[in-house]
Structure 1
Amino acid sequence: MFKKNAVAAGMAAFASVALTAGCAVADGSKGSDADISEMSADELAEHLIFETDSFRDQEMQEGGDWADRMTQDELQQACSMKGDPDGETAGEVVAMARASYEAPENLELGDWRKGAELADSGYGYRMGHKNDDHSQRDPGGNCYNCHVFDPEVSEQGTIGPSLENYGANRGDGEAVRRYVHEVISNPHQYFPCTQMPRFRDGKEQLLTDEQISHIMAYLLDPESPVNN
């Protein structure tokens, strides 16, 4: 149960309270004859999320609708647990991540200036009253939300490790470039069940290889403020 979405636990708790207290729960199904009084809390939560009008019938930027976005793929299902994964699960996640990764034809660095813009931009896949429109503006990486890059930038995150002086400390060899590309594309190859998004090899492609090359340049180019 609830391999499909990330908010199901909260919905299940709500459903459990509602059923235990004898509260009426509106069905809202599209022509459904489902008898919610016969459902467990978990079944009711899944029903409310995926089989009713709980989410808008609205197309996502990556295609599909709300329910498609909330449905987990195999890797997300494997990582749906409390705490860190056990050894077996971690190995399975790493294997899935590496199987989905395809190396680009070349690992040339892009423009670090464009990489800085992408790292700072959180534009991309927000839905609601003011949707992100990809025909007007390209998605960003929102990297500043989790990492420190440039010490001169005032607002940066600390969820992930600091990347200050990344290229200065590691150099710019082919092995370093490949590792950086692999981690940005699908970080589960090295960090199973990490909170970092799969920017290229997930359910949808959040960043293109060209965009990733710009972020790589921001990290590795000696002229980048990350390394000065």
Structure 2
Amino acid sequence: MLKKKTVGAGLALVASTVLIAGCDGWLGETGGEVDITAMSAEELADYLVLETGSYRLEQEAQEGGSARDRMTQDGIQAACSLEGDPDAETAGNVIAMARESYEAPPGGARLGNWRRGAELARSGYGYRVGHRNDDHGQREPGGNCYACHQMDPAEELYGTLGPSLAGYGATRGNDSAVVNYVHQVVSNPHQYFPCTQMPRFGRNNFLTEEQIAHIMAYLLDPASPVNQ
């Protein structure tokens, strides 16, 4: 249980037992006095994850490795751990790292089935760590594209973190240059947008090459509702 007392102008949590709600219910336990009001948001997150035992860092992650491994930054993540936009030197280094790690698909980038792509673009399923891991054997992970982009103009719910992609194929076409460019952006967008918040779907194996081909078809195929 939590006991609280007033300390100056703030509220301190005093815990002989502090319980943190986790994936399986009440998991972590610490002792002593902990004043979480004195912590920044980052410090509080580190405290809850690393010190309270409420997050199982050794849990196996679905892409391989453990939950702890997810917290280990690679070169791009380390370079992009900054406030605001990167300076010119940082941006150049990030672009170089992204292009060095990019791998074109065997036989070149291609378009798949836009109907499958529509399903993948709407689905945010996959790769969650918790007491009930997503079963990739029964349902394939999705790209969750609508969390950040408008795509089908008739879709009512979409995020605005990324630009609208409505009419993308109708405007740009779908020749080999466009298909290759879109594949590079979906696989590792830092090649063109250094320190973007867009995931590296191909580079980090969140989507297979087949899934990327389907999403590209949803974006570029003239028959796709995105381009109507």
TM over 0.5, shorter chain:
yes
Per the TM alignment, residue 43 of structure 1 is displaced from its structure 2 partner at its CA by 10
The count of aligned residue pairs is 192
2:146 and 2:159 in contact (8 A); partners too: yes
Structure 1 segments (4+ residues) deviating >6 Å: 23-26, 41-48
Q: Which amino acid aligns with 1:84?
A: D
Instruction: Select the structure that is richer in helix.
Output: 1
Per the TM alignment, residue 52 of structure 1 is displaced from its structure 2 partner at its CA by 7.4
Per the TM alignment, residue 54 of structure 1 is displaced from its structure 2 partner at its CA by 4.7
Q: Which amino acid aligns with 2:195?
A: C
Per the TM alignment, residue 70 of structure 1 is displaced from its structure 2 partner at its CA by 1.5
Equivalents in 1 of 2:159, 2:44: separation in Å? 37
Instruction: Select the structure that is richer in strand.
Output: 2
Q: State the secondary structure of the residue aligned to 1:97.
A: helix
Q: Which amino acid aligns with 2:222?
A: P
Unaligned 5+ segments in structure 2 are: 1-11, 18-39
Cα RMSD of the aligned pairs, angstroms, is: 2.6
2:174 and 2:221 in contact (8 A); partners too: yes
2:126 and 2:134 in contact (8 A); partners too: yes
Q: Percent identity?
A: 66
Unaligned 5+ segments in structure 1 are: 1-20, 27-40
Partner of residue 223, structure 1: 223
Per the TM alignment, residue 133 of structure 1 is displaced from its structure 2 partner at its CA by 1.5
Q: TM-score, normalised by structure 2?
A: 0.76
Deviations 1:163-207 (A, max 9, x none): 011010001111100100000000000000001000011xx3100
Partner of residue 191, structure 1: 193
Map 1:195-210 → 2, pairs under 5 A: 195-201=197-203, 204-210=204-210
2:62 and 2:127 in contact (8 A); partners too: yes
Equivalents in 1 of 2:16, 2:185: separation in Å? 44
Equivalents in 1 of 2:158, 2:47: separation in Å? 39
Per the TM alignment, residue 53 of structure 1 is displaced from its structure 2 partner at its CA by 3.5
Per the TM alignment, residue 50 of structure 1 is displaced from its structure 2 partner at its CA by 5.3
Partner of residue 212, structure 1: 212
Q: TM-score, normalised by structure 1?
A: 0.76
1:151 and 1:109, CA in 2 relative to 1: closer, same or farther beyond 3 A?
Answer: same
Partner of residue 181, structure 2: 179
Q: State the secondary structure of the residue aligned to 2:100.
A: helix
Per the TM alignment, residue 25 of structure 1 is displaced from its structure 2 partner at its CA by 11
Partner of residue 53, structure 1: 53
